[in-house]
Structure 1
Amino acid sequence: MLVDALAKSGMQPELAGSGPQMDALMHLHRFDLVILDIMLPGEDGFSICRRLRAQHTIPIIMLTAVGEEVDRIIGIEIGADDYITKPFSTRELVARVRGLLRRASYGATASDRHTPLRFDGWRIDPVRRQVYDPQATRIAMTSAEFDLLYVFCQNPGRILSREELLRHTHAGLAGPIERSVDVHISRIRQKIEENPREPVLLKTVRLGGYLFTATVEPA
């Protein structure tokens, strides 16, 4: 049903019934997005998501029949970009897919006016959507994490609310719950801060939002 709905929306979906089938397809084709069900035979969706995120920056939408918020947060914490609880309409799924694809391609579509940026030894490339640490090692980030970090680099020294961050990262249609911004930022801190428990670059402003304190300049 979902394959038919996506195909009718102009996409080219491929169906895999298990982790090994997905691996085989990804070895043969280049995909723009993964829709991942939690309940799968053998390796479950959470495990597959962790494994995918360790190897790829591809956007991931997770599907589950479990409606508990804690499960949605777990999905985001292990690297999912969005989370949809069953039952849902195919129209909602198509809207989420389009929104997430738009976010993931944002840097590439605007590549003519975007140049790499540097902060505190780090380098962020909005065209290739890649982040490098001060030792020039590429750091894996989800699509949502990259979008947020790039928005902070475009707005250094300015307090950004959660609502602004959702709007600037084109996340409205993709629909991550507002609290998921906190989870994504926590993951960013784990990657760019020397001590994530006492962040220096990405600070929380009580009742305000977040503040990126680094000096940003063209790379």
Structure 2
Amino acid sequence: MTGLRLVIFDVDGTLIDSQNLIVAAMTDTFGAVGRPVPPRAEVLQIVVLSLELAMARLAPDLDAAGIDALVAAYRAAFLRLRSQTGGEAASPLYPGARAAIEALHARPEVLLGVATGKARRGLDHAFAAHGLDRFFVTRQTADTHPSKPHPAMIEAALAETGVEPPRAVMVGDTSYDIAMARAAGVAAIGVSWGYHAAEALLAAGAAQVIDGFGALEAAIDTIWGQR
């Protein structure tokens, strides 16, 4: 068994606070096609899903062509709003995120990865805006995998790094993140500042829910000590 360990992060709602940009883009999208705008809380519940699945949840009466039109409109609205507000200003890192990433990256046995509902283009833009490129050795995105909670993203991250499931941890803010991890045989830590309540994360199987990045290393070490 390899001596390496792997910490996999979700992005939106876990590392990056993108909710205002996402809600604004959804508002523009539904307005552009003449449909009622979904409530903010409903939008935030589906953030982690692939765009196609998210739109199907928000507009269940539409056929495939209608969903495709929503997806295209959202992508255009998101890019326009992001360019207007600026990369880092549009979606800032949550407090303590950078320090936690740097601390884990400094541990020679720990590799870092992401499993996100973003497309690769969006992830690359976010990482460039925040200077995060050098930290993450495996990056799994929605345009090359089934939507969460399917375990494909985590399975690919494990395969790329050679790390076995007991030596990996997933960190996420939604029940989809937690369910994905559990389906891949990986322990999961929930964060309370994202899109799903702590109760939902625990019900999905999170080993622990933390209230700040300052508690992350200890939570990870507790899980690995138990395994």
| Structure 2 length-normalised TM | 0.26
The one of the two structures with greater contact order (alpha-carbon pairs below 8 A, sep at least 6) is 2
Larger relative helix fraction: 2
